[in-house]
Amino acid sequence: ILIVLLLGSIAPLQLHAASFNESCRATVDPPCQALLAYRSSSLSPTIANISSLFSIPVQAILAANAFSPSDDPSARLSTGETLRIPVPCSCAANGQRSGNTTYTIAPGDFLFQIANNRYGGLVTIEEIAAANGIVDLDKILAGQNLTIPYPCSCRGNSFGGRDALFMAYVVQDGESREGFYRSYNLSQEEFDRLNPSVNLDDLVVCMCVACRARFNRSALDSNLTVASGGYAITANGCVQCNCDGTELHCTRAPTAPRNCSLGCRNSRLQIGNFSTGANSSGGCTIESCLYDGYNNRQIFT
């Protein structure tokens, strides 16, 4: 069950840039998974709408928020409801971490509405204009495709010796530092390290405790990282990995296709199962079948 943070619908201040000034080198630093805290506007979008806005699969959004894979993505969100959106975070040409998606202008749209109502204040009017070479903010055309930049952070998916995912969060009027400390289990020192010189009137980085995979290095999901309380569907839909805040627990996905081969070699066990027995010295033996990643040809155990 997802515990959502219900916040006011006051429009966020348009002050931030679509970057946390996290330097990177495109030839050295690979993309990572990051999170955006998306606050539902008065437009009451659905998860399917949000999936389209960020070009992120519905299943990935359901998983990041611990919703059931069978939940209806067409159900409307309440105004102010906040979801975690998993997004790719790359190294841009300017040597800063950032990401972007594409939005097609609908009839009646204007930039303020797109920035604040569609994208929850995660991007500003000025950032959209700069990314698309728009000079006159009042002149946009229905059907035109816009590049929408968004802020993100990687930080090596680690903070204070803990596996972590980092989430961009738009601060609302009236929110306090103490509220962030409690919500994200951070000390004041840790929060200040993540957000030096921030005045809580803008955009901040929040840390979400996560579980990072230690799979076979050749696996396509060897760098899988899942926020605590959430899960990820991997191995072409065959495997679900849940994070309990300490480590990943991977089992057959509830919606796994019938052709998934999830057994361990020389064993009757399936991924996520274990058995106990007695050995010749009178002690106990425990046999387990653990998931170790996948590639285009097989699932590793």
Q: What average pLDDT values come out for the chain (301 residues) when binned by 10 residues?
A: 28 45 83 92 89 95 93 90 93 87 94 92 92 91 94 88 90 75 78 72 82 92 92 94 92 92 86 65 69 91 89
What does the pLDDT read at residue 12?
34
The answer to whether residue 126 sits within a structural domain is yes
Do 196 and 69 share a domain, yes or no? yes
Angstrom CA distances, 89 to 36, 37, 185, 265, stand at 11, 14, 24, 37
Answer yes or no: do 111 and 191 share one domain: yes
Q: Are residues 140 and 118 in the same domain?
A: yes
105: domain range? 32-211
Query: Does any domain span residue 296?
Result: no
Q: What angle do CA 123, 126, 129 make, to 5 degrees?
A: 100
Domain assignment present for residue 127? The answer is: yes
Locus of tokens 């057959």: 252
User: Which pLDDT score, from 0 to 100, does residue 188 have?
Assistant: 81
The residue type of 186 is L
Count CB atoms within 10 A of the CB of residue 90.
20
Do 151 and 41 belong together in one domain? yes
Same domain, 125 and 200: yes
Q: Are residues 65 and 176 in the same domain?
A: yes
The terminus-to-terminus CA distance of the chain in angstroms comes to 29
Total number of domains constituting the chain: 2
- Which run of H or of E encompasses 181? helix 177-183
pTM for the model stands at: 0.84
Task: Please provide residue 124's backbone torsions phi and psi, each rounded to the nearest 5 degrees.
Answer: -100, 165
Do 43 and 169 share a domain, yes or no? yes
Asked if residue 60 is part of any domain, the answer here is: yes
Same domain (yes/no): 77, 97: yes
**The domain boundary residue, chosen from 179, 211, 243:** 211
According to the model, what pLDDT value does residue 134 have?
93
Query: Residue 46 carries which side chain, given as an amino acid letter?
Result: T
Helix (H), strand (E) at residue 113: helix 111-113
Residue 212 and residue 35: Cα distance in Å, rounded? 15
User: Same domain for 91 and 204?
Assistant: yes
Last residue of a domain, one of 149, 181, 211: 211
Q: Kindly state the tokens that stand for 168.
A: 């961009």
* 69 and 85 inside one domain: yes
Residue 111 shares a structural domain with residue 253: no
Query: 168: domain CATH number?
Result: 3.10.350.10
Q: Is residue 180 part of a domain?
A: yes
At 49 the pLDDT is 94
Q: Which of 150, 178, 211 is the last residue of a domain?
A: 211
The answer to whether the CB of 224 falls within 8 A of the CB of 232 is yes
pLDDT of 207 reads 87
Q: Are residues 153 and 264 in the same domain?
A: no
Q: Cα 121 vs. chain centroid, distance in angstroms?
A: 17
Contact 32, 157 (CB under 8 A): yes
